[in-house]
């Protein structure tokens, strides 16, 4: 049987947050372990530059994120792991797909509106075109499923629309992808504003946990996290977002369901939940941090992984791009 192609990417900017790790990267590891999947994972550095970056810091972050992904269990012998900018087919297909995407569709994209508000001094075309580049990322590899957070599902829908539009004009070319959400930990919220997603751009540093934070910093941030009125520990994201967020983090760290955690904390106080959550996160990240430090001690090895991933990714991407070019009448 043909394996499912699973594609996902992460931006090598700033830090890898606990939300990134639980909601995305640890999910990648589990998907990789399923023998029914062919996995392709990328560092989306072309997406990163829609916001101004310090060049040297971006280079360092890219190396660091390769180490982070390897430490999290992404195995380059079982999955394709590469850097987006190393495969020029991404940018080429993005331009071609732009010609099959409507301005009105881009104007409606929620993330463009949000990022434009945050970066009003740099509302560039790359920011608006982000979803088309993301569509190119996905469609190049004939991806069946794309693991994403709930905030990215709109981008999956536009990728589907573009693929179907192209297929309707030129015949079967692209696989129409599906978004794949994780049930637990799909969206980790800020510890200081549990109505907002945990983000590396959080203005309050106490609201976000980096996977490279020390054990003391993790414990401090969780113990200072915002909870809710009342004292009952229940999962109710609308009325008790703070407690619900801690339950989600704890369940993800311990590999349990939220329902199991709620039952375990019957009759206990918020303080008990915070202590347990802090301990669970520290223990979950301890072996991860040790592996990360080891990988960072071998930068040449990390660059070799990226070079090998580029070859594997480009072998697939080049075939798709050539097919698209032929179908629209370009000389190939």
Residues with a catalytic annotation lie at: 115, 197, 200
Q: In what order do the strands lie in the sheet with 178-180?
A: 79-83, 37-43, 4-10, 145-147, 178-180
Distance of CA 141 to the CA centre of its chain: 17
CA angle 63–25–291, rounded 5-degree value: 55
Distance CA 208, CA 20 (A): 11
Give yes or no for a contact between 252 and 285, defined as CB atoms under 8 angstroms apart: no
Torsion, Cα 95 92 150 278, to 10 degrees, reads: -140
Classify burial at 64, counting beta carbons within 10 Å of its beta carbon; exposed 0-12, middle 13-18, buried 19 or more. Answer: buried
Residue closest to 328 by CA, chosen among 220, 202, 173, 186: 173
Distance CA 28, CA 39 (A): 8
Total Cβ atoms within 10 A of residue 37:
18
Residue closest to 204 by CA, chosen among 219, 214, 216, 194: 194
**DSSP letter at 84?**
G
**Does residue 184 sit in helix, strand or coil?**
coil
Distance CA 82, CA 76 (A): 9
């Amino acid at each position: 049987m043909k394996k499912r192609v699973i594609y996902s990417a992460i931006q090598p900017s700033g830090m890898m947050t606990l939300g990134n790790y639980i909601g995305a990267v640890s999910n990648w590891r589990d998907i990789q372990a399923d023998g029914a999947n062919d996995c392709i994972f990328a560092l989306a550095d072309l997406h990163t530059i829609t916001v101004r970056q310090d060049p040297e810091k971006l280079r360092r972050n890219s190396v660091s994120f390769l180490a982070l992904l390897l430490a999290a269990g992404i195995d380059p012998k079982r999955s394709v792991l590469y850097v987006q900018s190393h495969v020029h087919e991404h940018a080429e297909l993005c331009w071609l797909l732009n010609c099959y995407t409507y301005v009105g569709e881009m104007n409606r994209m929620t993330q463009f509106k949000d990022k434009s508000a945050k970066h009003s001094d740099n509302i560039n075309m790359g920011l608006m075109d982000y979803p088309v580049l993301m569509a190119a990322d996905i469609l190049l590899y004939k991806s069946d499923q794309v693991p994403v957070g709930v905030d990215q599902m709109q981008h999956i829908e536009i990728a589907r629309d573009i693929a179907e539009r192209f297929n309707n004009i030129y015949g079967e070319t692209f696989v129409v992808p599906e978004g794949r959400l994780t049930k637990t930990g799909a969206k980790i919220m800020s510890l200081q504003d549990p109505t907002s997603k945990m983000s590396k751009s959080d203005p309050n540093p106490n609201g976000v946990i980096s996977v490279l934070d020390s054990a003391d910093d993790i414990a401090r941030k969780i113990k200072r996290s915002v909870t809710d009125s009342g004292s009952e520990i229940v999962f109710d994201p609308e009325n008790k977002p703070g407690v619900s967020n801690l339950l989600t983090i704890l369940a993800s760290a311990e590999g349990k369901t939220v329902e199991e955690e709620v039952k375990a904390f019957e009759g206990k106080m918020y303080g008990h939940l915070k202590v347990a959550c802090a301990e669970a996160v520290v223990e979950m990240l301890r072996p991860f941090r040790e592996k990360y430090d080891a990988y960072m001690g071998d930068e040449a090895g990390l660059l070799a992984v990226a070079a090998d991933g580029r070859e594997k990714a480009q072998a697939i991407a080049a075939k798709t791009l050539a097919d698209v070019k032929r179908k629209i009448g370009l000389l190939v």
